Amino acid sequence: MEIITSVKEIQKISFCLRAEKKQIGFVPTMGALHQGHISLIKECKKNNDWTIVSIFVNSIQFNDQNDYKNYPRPLDNDLNICQELQVDTVFAPSLKEMYPEEFLTFVNVEKLSSNLCGEYRPGHFEGVATIVTKLFNITNPHRAYFGAKDYQQTQIIKKLVRDLNFDIEIIVLPTIRDENGLALSSRHKYLSQEEKKQTYVLYKSLKKALSLLDKNIKDPKIIIDQINKIIVKEHLANVEYIKICDPVHLSDLKYISNEALIALAVRFEKARLIDSIIWRKN
Ligand SMILES: Nc1ncnc2c1ncn2[C@@H]1O[C@H](COP(=O)(O)OP(=O)(O)O)[C@@H](O)[C@H]1O
Ligand SMILES: [Mg+2]
């Protein structure tokens, strides 16, 4: 496995792979790898000749500087995981390599970035869209893999690929959860044991929403109220938002007809968790 830190070098590698007609798969991560990342890497390995994993804690997508400073960076362990999975190339650049002085260009996917997490994390999706655009230009993959846990992010990336004419297939894979239904995230290490016990309410409340919809309860207000009731029972959980949106446009729905995204963000003392689920009429 090669570990590359320079933009020029990885661009050269991908240029040569393409000349050899190799299919390149790409998995962007911020490291602190867990089973969610591992499922993306395994799927990428299955369907491509060459797998590139990037590990880069993208400073410009953090709206909270403490969150950036404290974000876990267990690089050696991450490299071991990649090695075991037989990743071909890890791209782990420095901050300076990605954002040299006088960096002035940002990518903003309008509308899709404004609702849901965009409302509570100003600048976050601009940071995401900018780094993903840079990484796509640098690694030049045929396919790129993302997790459904970050549903809004996947919609934004699909849109930027279309709008900026990237010839890249975006593959979205299901959310990996622990035995209590909690969607895995690198930020879980911030949770205390007591908090961890209470996190099961996120998925539980989403499943309750699905069952209400299956019973033909179609008023978002009623469903949101039910979700909220379940979550507030756990005293360490503070709801940031619970929303029911159109899965494509991410606008709030006033009435649910054929499909809906039910999405939520819940804060525990040091960790902000997100989860979501899609409901479709049978
Ligand atoms: N539980 C999960 N299941 C599936 N994919 C996930 C999960 N958690 C993160 N991912 C995906 O891994 C990629 C990198 O996310 P990253 O920000 O590094 O991890 P995290 O969100 O856990 O902090 C994203 O495409 C993200 O959606
Ligand atoms: Mg993340």
Burial profile 73-89: b = 16 or more Cβ within 10 angstroms, e = fewer: eeeeebbebbeebebbb
Number of structural domains (the chain) is: 2
Residue 30's H or E segment, with its range, is: none
Q: Select from 147, 173, 199 the last residue of a domain.
A: 173
Average pLDDT score, the chain: 97
pLDDT digits (tens, 9 = 90+) for 68-78: 999 999 999 99
- Determine, yes or no, domain membership for 180: no
In this predicted structure, the answer to whether residue 282 has a pLDDT above a threshold of 90 is no
Measured in Å, residue 186 CA sits from the centre of ligand 2 at 7
Pocket test for ligand 1, best of 150, 178, 186, 199 (most atoms within 8 A of CB): 150
* pLDDT digit string, tens, across residues 95-110: 999 999 999 999 999 9
Whole-angstrom CA distances from 236 to 131, 145, 203 are: 33, 33, 16
Q: What is the pLDDT of residues 32-54, one digit of tens each?
A: 999 999 999 999 999 999 999 99
C-alpha–C-alpha distance, residues 140 and 26, integer Å: 9
Q: Which two tokens stand for residue 229?
A: 């009731």
Ligand nearest to the CA of 185: 1
CATH number of the domain at 207, please.
3.30.1300.10
Q: Is the CB of 36 under 6 A from ligand 1?
A: yes
Regarding the beta carbon of 176 and ligand 1, being less than 6 Å apart is answered yes
Report how far residue 134's alpha carbon sits from residue 129's, in angstroms, rounded to the nearest whole number.
Answer: 9
14 and 83 part of one domain = yes
Query: What confidence tier does 270 reach under pLDDT thresholds 50, 70, 90?
Result: confident
Domain boundary among 138, 173, 208: 173
65 and 142 belong to one structural domain: yes
